[in-house]
A = this chain, B = another copy of it.
């Protein structure tokens, strides 16, 4: 091990930095997962996560990464040959579609240019055309981690309703949950998928399915042959705070602590903070003379900002220089935009000074990598932060 002075700036769009308080909570000794004490922990964790999804319905906690929760969502309600409508918001929407196909599901993609969230109008139009209701589910990514665009989920719900279509509404909010507003019950979502390592400020290792009564009903007769991902065994035994197989106990310690911290800060404060940091970051990017990948106003994410590299310059070389010189991790471009964009994460446990530190790492890194840009983005971001009231502090 070689010590390098100072803290690493983990500015990828997840995993996000884990607060020390959460790491300490997680370092408690493991307990018997069938003990009375565990039952209390389980009930506390399950109640807590519901407040974040804003639901009174069931939330399933899997010991798995978010990818597992994607599979769980699909496998519980869809089977080989079923049709689903998906929306190409970016790399992760594409991966979810590929997964559906691997499971034998017929996945239809509404194409997108990776620069905005889903368009509810197109979804409505497509659903209206499906008069036979062959489409069993509509799958949308809430916050597309690969591009920094947000889909308007409430509007997608309205699109389903307007089309009078009975398909389930399934939403990937892996990187959105806990950073930007998400309202499972109010928005009429049927299945929501999320993970621990983003807005929840935990290490990766557990993932979630929030499920509506309607989805649970569908899953009873339907879905793929499944065992690990099955909702029913979970829901039954969760009632007493236990799990059908050994849960990731120490992650649950962390989950309870992290959600306690989130409510201490206040969910609305958290959402406003992410918005404000997103705006400051975009201001910096534009001052550098660079493009923000998301070009649809209102769809820009408070979670991350994807930045388009000038033609002829390698985003990965830049990221590598920034890492080497300034000990900052930035997100890479994925698949279609590989090496063409980089991503700045501004989610989770950060504050104004961390953001400025991170943006200075980008600005100085651009210089080190000899990427053409205007100086002064950091100054513009500082101006924005200083002039824009900070939620929970000013006001």
Contact = CB atoms under 8 A, between A and B. Distances in A.
A48 interface: no
Contacts of A332: 34
A297 interface: no
A291 B270 CA distance: 38
A68 interface: yes
Interface in A56-80: 62-68, 71, 80
Most buried by B among A4, A63, A265, A327: A63
| Copies of chain A in the complex | 4
A67 B24 CA distance: 28
Interface stretch (A110-118, A120-128, A242-250): A242-250
A249 B204 contact: yes
Nearest to A195: B246
Interface residues on A, range: 35 or more
Given A225-B103, A246-B195, A379-B378, A64 B67 contact: no
A203 B353 contact: no
A363 interface: yes
B227 A102 contact: yes
B364 A30 contact: no
A341 to B, nearest CB: 15
Interface in A10-35: 10, 12, 14-15, 17-21, 23-24, 26-35
The 3 A-B residue pairs with the shortest CB-CB distance in the complex, in nearest-first order: A6-B351, A357-B357, A67-B245
